[in-house]
Structure 1
Amino acid sequence: MSALADGLAAAQDRVLRPLSGLGTDLSLARPVGSASGEAPSIADRRRLREENEAARVALDDLGEPGDRFRRTAFVSSARLGFDDRDVQAAASAPDVREAAGSLTLDAIDVSGEVPASAGSGTPGAQTLRAAGLEGVDIASSTVTGVDTTHPALATVGPDQVTDGRWLARGAHREVVLDLAVARRRGLRVGSTCPIGTRHYEVVGLVSAPLGAERSDAYLPLSELQAIADRPGTVTEIRVRADRSDDVGALRTRLETDLPGTTATTAADLAANVDGSLADADDLVERLGTALVLLALAAAFVLTALITLGSVGKRTRELGTLRAIGWSRARLVRQLAGESLLQGVLGGLLGVATGLAVACAISRAGIVLRASVAPSEHPVGGGLAGLAGFGRGAVEPTSAAVTLTAPVDGGVLLVGLGLAVLAGLLAGAVGAARAARLRPADALRQID
């Protein structure tokens, strides 16, 4: 049971480790609306519209009607931004080891022909939707800018690189692509990938961990801020606490110091994991301790009963030993020694059996699945009325984990010690009964 519980814990750790920072990471964001689907407030809508103002596409600056055009707008569809002061405030908070910001935006490519209504007199604020989308193509992707000076704080970082390398510190024209996106676009390490009006060299491919908010591309933070015209803006702050015990208090402090902020911890991530892995872990957590205690109690009781039964069957033998001069103390030592030897042999046999079962579980290749359900984020704004083309939600993902049953040497010693203790106690019980035997009474019994 101990090995099985350790194996399930290790499996969950493999699933959650990339997201949890070993229990000391917090993710700070300012979502528009609420996780329960509550509509965003008027103030949130207004602020999000203001942050996305630079991404508006007006028709009067695209050229003459019939001209071909292509524009890329970078918008935040579900989160309000932080500025550099917020990142510095989080980094300087008590019990914080380090902090770093990241910027996630929807890159919306709009291309086609300038509509006929874009002639003279067209208002500058007129949007593509207002003029009609005939002949206009829209493609959306998600881009994340990461702080290359703190790669360990990125939700998707160097540990998830499957080919190539992570972004170099101080890099400018480098990009790391999601593995699935690169395959779909036919790109590989060394290819050139256009983002907005610039071209970037693909230096690595990554596979996002379970539950992570995947992006199609990852750029240096300063690079994305520049091409998106959002200097000093981030949409997420990753914070690493000094100790896991500090996370709860630190979460409360940061949510108070940074109004409108929602902090996500490793415990929140673990709560979202579902599937057979979570079901098995819950079962072991609820029943494992009870089963172990029940098995131990049964072992002690059965050992004592068997020893007492053995003493009862050996009454004539014990009476003979007393009759030829054995003292009660010597008789007690004899029975206790026998029980101790039986406890040692039984413990060794139990350890061997446990190791065999644990090895069989590890070799069986039992596959458990962990999944994260989709979490909807209300969309509060977008490309001048083109809201909804961003990702706006985390897609459901799953991961398969092979179950193992690692055996702890300390648990083996404890198990062997309990077997010896059971033998000693059973021997003491049997010896106490044998010590009360009188030779004459014992010799009168005939088998």
Structure 2
Amino acid sequence: MFFTYLRRELRRRRKAALVVASGLALGIALVVVVSSVSSGMGKAQEKVLQSLYGLGTDMTVTKAMETSEEGGERPERPRFSFDAQAEGSGEEQSTDHVMVQGFQSLADSTVDKVGEQNGVADAVGGLSLQVVKVSGEFTRGRFQQDGQGGQDGGPGGPGGAEPSEGGRVQGGGADFDVNSYSVYGTDVTEPKLGPLTSSRITDGRTFKASETDAKVAVVDSAHAKEKELETGDTVTVKGTKFKVIGIATAESGDAAADLYLPLKQAQTLADAKDKVTTIYVRATDSQQIDSVKSAIQKNVSGTTVTTSADLADTVSGSLSTASSLAIGVGTWLSVAVLVTAFLVAGLLTSSAVSRRVREFGTLKALGWTSGRVTGQVVGEAVVHGLMGGVLGIALGLAGAYAVTAISPTLQAELGGGAGGSGGMGGPGGGPVGGPGREAAAKTLEVALTAPVGLTTVALAVGLAVAGGLVAGAFGGWRASRLRPADALRRVA
């Protein structure tokens, strides 16, 4: 009887049911869109953080570079020596200078000490380097005597003789090119932790655990394109040749370094045996990151521990602004619209009950109890809510799909983190690359998507039922107050 009467009434009052369902649908659709966009914001921020520290890293341990005034290490400055008297004019000369960049180096033993702290699942060290390559040639000048042809020679003319009065040296000089790129020494025995995990191998392969001493390299795709490198080629760093075994493409569009080498090889190049600049840490429980951070700071003195939450605070730009709007304004707007939809649905249902006084009064006169009448009204309202839920989910999915299809590009500006920027001249000396670069401001671009998960759909269904119950509560309260005499008085 309940379902028969329910089906008949819903068919008779299609317009009223559609109005109530549409109001709820708008509120639910807005909730679905805001929830999916917020989820997309979270994924975009994760990409930004992974571009710095790599997938699976919960925190990093570093030591800020001390200035000479503080009695610490002096920032390393490159020095280059060339022979201007080299045989043969135009002979090219080149030299590499490899510098530890970004942070003060830590002993390898610090990695083990960090790994022994409570709550640490894994810890691995890495060495961030900057290579400055200077290459070019000197050109000898030509001695020109007034009224005579020129002769090859240096400033003193042929054989080093002093130039006679009225003569002069023409031409000559030096033409050198300075090229800088970042190198990162990675622990090949721990491939699942560190900045290389934020890149995808698009050609060749990554390091093997047995290649700790091998002269092999993985090159970032952008650097490989610039230098026209392919898998199987060789790159030379400070006179040492490394075979390119793979090309890596950063998932976020920005690589941690231009060139990746086994950690021991990087330490050898930089004369930094048993040294690292960054320790990447994975916690056993993501809920205990703060306590693990405190333990490391307490037991490993002089270090700075940076978590993903700390790093997220330095992210600004349109990504941060849009995220704040989605979480703040969007959430409150969704709540306001949803509450309004619930109230409107309740009022419409209550108004519909008022128009059905004779109907419900007659049913009570025939023996229907107040509880049965109220249950009938609530049942109709719940069906209205479910209809609104289906329509709202459909509208929400369409909105989320539109956002994903458009994929608006957002910018994330990464502010300074702990430590100095290990640029070309040492801290603060210029552009930064590699894992130590989080100390320098930089901008990343990420595409916004709006993924809709099962949790969002379940939330929408729950809101639909809740909306129906709220509307039913209004109507049921009104129906329970009806008396058979009121209905009989209105019968013509």
Sort the TM-score into its range (normalised by shorter chain). Answer: 0.7 to 0.9
- 1:110 Cα deviation (Å)? 4.3
Residue 154 of structure 1 pairs with residue 194 of structure 2: yes
Give the match for residue 4 of structure 1: 37
Cα distance change on mapping 1:277 and 1:444 into 2, 3 Å: same
C-alpha contact (below 8 Å) 1:65/1:114 kept by paired residues: no
Measured in 2, the distance between the counterparts of 1:413 and 1:443 equals 45
Give the match for residue 443 of structure 1: 488
Residue 41 of structure 1 pairs with residue 83 of structure 2: no
Cα distance change on mapping 1:374 and 1:429 into 2, 3 Å: closer
> Which protein shows a greater Rg?
2
Q: 1:400 aligns with which of 430, 436, 446?
A: 446
Matched pairs, number: 415
Q: 2:106 aligns with which of 82, 87, 107?
A: 82
> Which amino acid is the alignment partner of residue 143 of structure 1?
V
Residue 66 of structure 1 pairs with residue 86 of structure 2: yes
- 1:380 Cα deviation (Å)? 9.0
Give the match for residue 158 of structure 2: none
Deviations 1:269-291 (A, max 9, x none): 32233333322221121134323
- 1:148 Cα deviation (Å)? 0.5
C-alpha contact (below 8 Å) 1:177/1:206 kept by paired residues: yes
Alignment of 1:187-226 (within 5 A): 187-208=229-250, 210=252, 214-226=256-268
Cα distance change on mapping 1:309 and 1:185 into 2, 3 Å: same
Deviations 1:197-220 (A, max 9, x none): 111111122234659774332111
Give the match for residue 13 of structure 1: 46
Measured in 1, the distance between the counterparts of 2:69 and 2:372 equals 86
Cα distance change on mapping 1:212 and 1:151 into 2, 3 Å: farther
Alignment of 1:326-341 (within 5 A): 326-341=368-383
Measured in 2, the distance between the counterparts of 1:387 and 1:314 equals 78
Give the match for residue 287 of structure 1: 329
> Which amino acid is the alignment partner of residue 406 of structure 1?
V
Alignment of 1:108-187 (within 5 A): 108-111=132-135, 138-157=178-197, 159-171=199-211, 172-187=214-229
- 1:85 Cα deviation (Å)? 1.7
Give the match for residue 14 of structure 2: none
Give the match for residue 121 of structure 1: none
Measured in 1, the distance between the counterparts of 2:475 and 2:384 equals 13
Measured in 2, the distance between the counterparts of 1:272 and 1:375 equals 7
Cα distance change on mapping 1:188 and 1:139 into 2, 3 Å: same
Residue 106 of structure 1 pairs with residue 130 of structure 2: yes
User: Which residues of structure 2 form unaligned runs of 5+?
Assistant: 1-30, 141-153, 155-172
Q: Secondary structure at the match of 2:236?
A: strand
Measured in 2, the distance between the counterparts of 1:180 and 1:273 equals 24
State the superposition RMSD in angstroms.
3.7
Give the match for residue 130 of structure 1: none
Residue 263 of structure 1 pairs with residue 263 of structure 2: no
Measured in 1, the distance between the counterparts of 2:40 and 2:225 equals 34
Measured in 2, the distance between the counterparts of 1:425 and 1:357 equals 26
Give the match for residue 122 of structure 1: none
- 1:174 Cα deviation (Å)? 0.8
Alignment of 1:244-255 (within 5 A): 244-255=286-297
Measured in 1, the distance between the counterparts of 2:198 and 2:337 equals 46
Cα distance change on mapping 1:44 and 1:113 into 2, 3 Å: farther
C-alpha contact (below 8 Å) 1:16/1:270 kept by paired residues: yes
C-alpha contact (below 8 Å) 1:210/1:397 kept by paired residues: no
Q: 2:403 aligns with which of 352, 355, 361?
A: 361
Deviates more, 1:339-348 or 1:230-239: 339-348
| Percent identical | 33
Q: Secondary structure at the match of 1:307?
A: helix
Give the match for residue 120 of structure 2: 96
Measured in 1, the distance between the counterparts of 2:275 and 2:301 equals 16
C-alpha contact (below 8 Å) 1:211/1:372 kept by paired residues: no
C-alpha contact (below 8 Å) 1:108/1:389 kept by paired residues: no
The alignment's TM-score, normalised by the length of structure 1, stands at: 0.79
Cα distance change on mapping 1:428 and 1:221 into 2, 3 Å: closer
> Which amino acid is the alignment partner of residue 449 of structure 2?
L
Residue 308 of structure 1 pairs with residue 332 of structure 2: no
Measured in 1, the distance between the counterparts of 2:198 and 2:470 equals 56
Measured in 2, the distance between the counterparts of 1:443 and 1:430 equals 21
Cα distance change on mapping 1:22 and 1:391 into 2, 3 Å: closer
Give the match for residue 461 of structure 2: 416
Q: Secondary structure at the match of 2:229?
A: coil
Q: Secondary structure at the match of 2:196?
A: coil
Measured in 1, the distance between the counterparts of 2:114 and 2:288 equals 14
Give the match for residue 478 of structure 2: 433
C-alpha contact (below 8 Å) 1:368/1:403 kept by paired residues: no
Q: Secondary structure at the match of 1:441?
A: helix
- 1:382 Cα deviation (Å)? 8.3
The alignment's TM-score, normalised by the length of structure 2, stands at: 0.72
Q: 2:392 aligns with which of 350, 355, 375?
A: 350
- 1:152 Cα deviation (Å)? 1.9
Measured in 1, the distance between the counterparts of 2:198 and 2:428 equals 32
> Which amino acid is the alignment partner of residue 440 of structure 1?
A
Residue 29 of structure 1 pairs with residue 62 of structure 2: yes
Measured in 2, the distance between the counterparts of 1:87 and 1:328 equals 73
User: Which residues of structure 1 form unaligned runs of 5+?
Assistant: 34-38, 117-132
C-alpha contact (below 8 Å) 2:40/2:449 kept by paired residues: yes
C-alpha contact (below 8 Å) 1:304/1:425 kept by paired residues: yes
Deviations 1:178-212 (A, max 9, x none): 22222222211111111111111111222346597
Cα distance change on mapping 1:340 and 1:257 into 2, 3 Å: closer
C-alpha contact (below 8 Å) 2:126/2:263 kept by paired residues: yes
Measured in 1, the distance between the counterparts of 2:122 and 2:296 equals 14
